[in-house]
Amino acid sequence: MDPLTTLQQPYPLNAFHLVIKEAAEEVVRHVQAPDALVGMEFLTNMSASAQGLYDVRLPTGQIRPLSLNLLTVADSGERKTGVHDLVAAPLYEFDQERIRRHEADFAQYELDMRVWEQIDKGLRRRLTKLTQEDKPIEETCLQLSEQAAAKPVMPRPRRIMHQNATERAIMDALEGDGESIAFISDEGDVIIKGGALKQLGVLNKAWDGAQMLTMDRSNGVSIVVRNPRVTVSYQVQPAVLKELLDRRGDVMRGSGHWARYLVGCPTSTQGIRFTYRLTNEWRHLPRFHECMRDVLNERGRRIDAGVMERTTLEFMEDASSRWIVLGNELESALGLDGDLHDIKDHASKALEITGRVAALLHVFSMQEGAISVDTLNRAVSIVGWHIDEFRRIFSPEYAVPQEQADAQVLERYLRKRYARWNRWVVEKNKVLRNGPVRPVSRLDAALDCLNAAGAVWVGVGLRNEQYINLNQAYFGSQTTMGF
């Protein structure tokens, strides 16, 4: 079966090209956040940075944005903010520089406008006087026409990052041609309650790469948006997602909005984030940040030059051939007895999302020319992981049972906390107090799963205390449970 339709655990960071992979792995090591949370944060920032500069021509001939929608489900304490602040630093720098430039431009605009208004008033007074004196007005009318054409244009703020936005604010930010914005938050409640998700039609059309969006104001003036680009990425706690599903889940799924998302619910690292040495050395993340800054700076230069056209990336011939195979395999999986029938809304967009991810990998691995089949295959691995996550979150019949999810977390804890140090027996109560799985009923169920897998067995001591015995043959290998 093709990797696009199979489960891949853990998150396929190896699918990223070296400059991205090494930076992501460095963040995982330093912050000890879940690998999927880190991987999705990198995709978010790649999309937000590059969408204003590049498009991709799919092998079907359609030109599509590089914009992505991402939803990360993670509990409080998973270090979402720490990861976001680290990876997104160049985006904030870019926005801050554009804001400073806008403040200076606006101050100059106000000065120019005051001068323009005085000249305009003088010309109008002269026209009135000439009319009253019945003198020729042609020259003054010409001057007024030239004055009108020379009216200073109010500079517009151009920042990428947004959180709380109404439909009017979204349209205002995108007004004009080729504008690029991103709704990104490590506290998704801000975006959910802020109004952005109430504009599903606008967001869907922007994701699709609509050539024009319009909004009619009450005063009869219309806002016209041409060729907008919008990245949407937010991280929510499970309780917040449940509330959103209960309240608006049918609308968001039925409208096709969630079908456009890469979703993930990373396995928690809480309880196994042990520190053995302190280091502030970052060797690989700065290299990735250089790539981000290069892309953002080129975007800034084009804005300043008034050139809003984007560069269109193409696929190599062998990548196009691979695309046909993937498309046929996906199509066969959408049928009534197909593996992806229950999430066919999402799966039908998976190949397009794969094309977008491939283009982002191409840009941030600093490759030249067309997108290679190797890069496409890397994107397939990444999107394949997210397809399974979409099914796990939105298709209850494929949900991982609680005891199996707990067993996976418990296995990682035992491996990192004990097996790696050749400690093969541990008190059960100690694991209950300090480990990641509580209460005791859930711990017992997780131990039953690990026992069935041959990973552990529970023994009883002389005073009826219970001990967890780790199977050295199991934990001595690199095998982990793939639930």
pLDDT score of 271: 67
Burial 124-155 (b: 16+ CB within 10 A, else e): eebeeebeeeeeebeebeebbeeeeeeeeeee
Q: 410 and 450 in contact (C-beta within 8 Å)?
A: yes
Question: Residue 234: helix, strand or coil by DSSP?
Answer: strand
Contact 225, 174 (CB under 8 A): yes
**What is the 3-class SS of 78-128, one letter each residue?**
CCHHHHHHHHCHHHHHHHHHHHHHHHHHHHHHHHHHHHHHHHHHHHHHHHH
- Per-residue pLDDT tens over the stretch 407-440: 888 888 898 889 888 899 999 999 999 888 889 9
List the chain residues with pLDDT less than 70.
1-9, 164-166, 194-195, 217-220, 268-279, 396-401, 477-483
Q: Report the alpha-carbon distance of residue 380 to residue 321 in Å, rounded.
A: 14
Edge-to-edge strands of the sheet including 311-313?
A: 63-65, 54-57, 311-313
Helix pair 200-208, 167-174: axis angle to 10 deg:
30
Q: How many CA atoms lie within 13 A of 87 on its CB side?
A: 34
The pLDDT value recorded for residue 337 is 78
Tell me the domains of the chain and their CATH numbers. 3-96+158-398 (3.40.50), 403-475 (1.10.10.10)
- 8 A C-beta contact, residue 79 and residue 32: yes
| Residue located via tokens 């606006």 | 106
| Phi, psi (degrees; rounded to nearest 5) at 273 | -95, 70
Sheet containing 180-185, strands listed edge to edge, beginning at the edge strand earlier in sequence: 161-162, 180-185, 229-236, 69-73, 261-264
pLDDT of amino acid 483: 27
Beta bridge partners of 469: 425, 457
Looking at the DSSP bridge assignments, the partners of residue 460 are 466
Sign of CA dihedral 131, 137, 143, 147: positive
What CA–CA distance (Å, rounded) separates 192 from 12?
A: 28
Helix (H) or strand (E) holding 28: helix 18-31
pTM of the full structure: 0.77
Q: Which amino acid is at 181?
A: I
Beta carbons within 8 Å of 52's beta carbon, 6+ residues apart: 160, 178, 179, 180, 229, 299, 310
User: Both tokens of residue 276?
Assistant: 């053995």
Q: Are 90 and 290 in contact (CB under 8 A)?
A: no
CB crowding 368-407: b at 16 or more within 10 Å, else e: eebbbbbbbbbbbbbbbbbbbbbbbbbeeeeeeeebebbb
Assign 163 to helix, strand or coil. coil
**What is the pLDDT, as a whole number, of residue 231?**
92
Residue 331 three-state SS: helix
Tell me, what's the pLDDT at 479? 42
Instruction: Compute the distance between CA of residue 58 and CA of residue 116 in angstroms, rounded to an integer.
Output: 49
**H or E element that contains 22:** helix 18-31
